[in-house]
Structure 1
Amino acid sequence: MEEVTQPMPRIGDIAPQFEALTTHGVLKLEDFKGQWLIIFSHPADFTPVCTTEFIAFSEIYPELQKRGVELLGLSVDSNSSHIAWVRNVEEKTGIKIPFPIIADLNKEVSLAYGMIHPGQSKTETVRCVFILDPDQKIRLIMYYPMNVGRNMKEILRVIDALQTADENKVALPANWHPGDKVVVPPPSTQEMAEERMGQGYECIDWYLCKKNL
């Protein structure tokens, strides 16, 4: 039997719309329009790595909210399982999970977002991260295997980077953190390239110049 190829959304695409049952009731993607949103999937409830991740996501949730970002979790477990797991995490660790979790039993959202990778599992979602801007355009995608938890500092860093780049019309160099110099867009003509070297930027050459914001 021929395997059906699942769609794989790409950076720059408008995120696939959905309506789904969550631990906070039925939600639609359009409910989040006008704000930044992180949609992330996990393989299964009541598993060790996923539990550490949900605790970690909950710990950075206040920082995300300061940046105008909402969180939306997902797995193919039932809503009852999600609720029981959230309650268990709070009981055992004191950490309250403040964001909704999609119960994607029919895998409709998982398949639309390309979250099931058969090389890892044909039934469970891998650890995907989709960052959507206020227009619900996909701005960043990260995939992690099932046995490696995500890095919350990196998730906060890329949110800061995306928002800084949008606000200031600049690019961000490797290992950029807030407060570091940013990359000035490269010149598009020879004349602009010649002028660039005298504009007070920190330049390695005409095509790579940095500045403070």
Structure 2
Amino acid sequence: MVVLGDPVPEFSADSTKGRIDSFKQFCEGKWTMLFSHPSDFTPVCTSELGAAAKLQGEFAKRGVQLAALSCNDLASHQQWVRDIEGSMSEGQKIDYPIIADPDRSIAKKWGMLDPDEKDTSGKAFAARCVFIIGPDATLKLSLLYPSSTGRNFDELLRVIDSLLLASKYPIATPANWHQGEEVMIAPSVSDEEAKKLFPDFRTIQVKSGKAYIRKTMLPEDGGAQQQQGGVQECGAR
């Protein structure tokens, strides 16, 4: 299974937005969120793809392109898109590709298969995986949900905001953090460096007396690292 820091596994596949000849090339130079689904024409998956369609603008503001995957063929995906757009996306068209993986070869390569969820022929379904991939085509974050639990797309935007900030500043985000709130200075940054980078940082006093919790606000432009024009649709070939 792909783990944090790994180069993403390569594959080529058909999608609802054309052939992807190289997924690594599709990812290079852009932030990408790949999210998998057990099967077409299932209720929770339909709600998730609709939710993603409604938030396409929010992902685009952050310079993040989306790609979904489901273990069905392209014809099935194309028919399913009509259902999603007609019932779950509030009129938003699905502008991101839904990748076809009928033989589950991509799901297997990426470690997406759920051993507890199988179709009538005994083949394992893909779990609800989320892979956030950096512009260097390496894995930056992964989340794994069982098929019974739909994903929280507001949370996915939150973790993307955190990843983008951490790629720009030597910081980390605390529990339940949201954009615009204080962040924590990374332990690898000395106080001297912190004073230069974050002049108004503060140190939290703790019982041990150790000065390891340092908080700061970031500049107003220190939000999500926008990469306008970085979202590229795969073209049909």
**Normalised-by-shorter TM-score class:** 0.7 to 0.9
> For structure 2, which runs of at least 5 residues remain unmatched after alignment?
219-237
* CA spacing shift, 1:199–1:77, aligned 2, 3 Å: closer
Letter in 2 for 1:21: D
Partner of 2:147: 146
Work out the CA distance in 2 between the residues paired with 1:156 and 1:199: 27
Please show how residues 47-196 of structure 1 align to structure 2 within 5 Å: 47-93=42-88, 94-121=91-118, 122-186=123-187
Aligned mates of 2:127, 2:139 — CA distance in 1: 18
2:19 corresponds in structure 1 to 26
Q: Which amino acid aligns with 1:84?
A: Q
Aligned counterpart, 2:213: 208
Aligned to 2:231: none
How far 1:107 moved relative to its partner? 1.5
Cα offsets for 1:6-54 (capped at 9, x unmatched): xx11111111111111111111211231000001100111111111101
**Unmatched runs of 5 consecutive residues or more in structure 1:** 1-7
CA distance in 2, matches of 1:186, 1:73: 36
**CA-CA distance at 1:199 after TM superposition:** 7.6
Say whether 1:15 aligns with 2:8: yes
Shift of 1:98: 1.4
TM-aligned CA deviation for residue 109 of structure 1: 1.1
Deviation of 1:124 (Å): 1.2
Q: Determine what percentage of the aligned residue pairs are the same residue.
A: 41
Asked if 1 retains the 8 angstrom alpha-carbon contact of 2:31 and 2:132, the reply is yes
Distance in 1 (CA, whole Å) between partners of 2:50 and 2:168 is 31
TM-score (norm 2): 0.79
Q: CA deviation at 1:180?
A: 0.9
State the SS of the aligned residue for 2:172: coil
The within-5 A match list for 1:37-48 is 37-48=32-43
Residue of structure 2 equivalent to 1:4: none
What letter is aligned with 2:58? E
Number of residue-to-residue matches in the alignment: 201
Cα 1:88–1:210 change in 2 (3 A) is: same
Q: Contact 1:89 / 1:95 at 8 angstroms: preserved in 2?
A: no
Q: Displacement of 1:92 after TM fit?
A: 3.9
CA positional deviation for 1:155 = 0.3
3-state SS of 1:186 partner: coil
> Normalized against structure 1, the TM-score is what?
0.88
Q: Secondary structure at the match of 1:55?
A: helix
Paired with 2:32 and 2:188, the residues of 1 have a C-alpha distance of 33
User: Is the 2:31–2:134 contact (alpha carbons within 8 Å) kept by the matching residues of 1?
Assistant: yes
Q: Secondary structure at the match of 1:62?
A: helix
Shift in alpha-carbon separation, 1:188–1:180, aligned structure 2, 3 A: closer
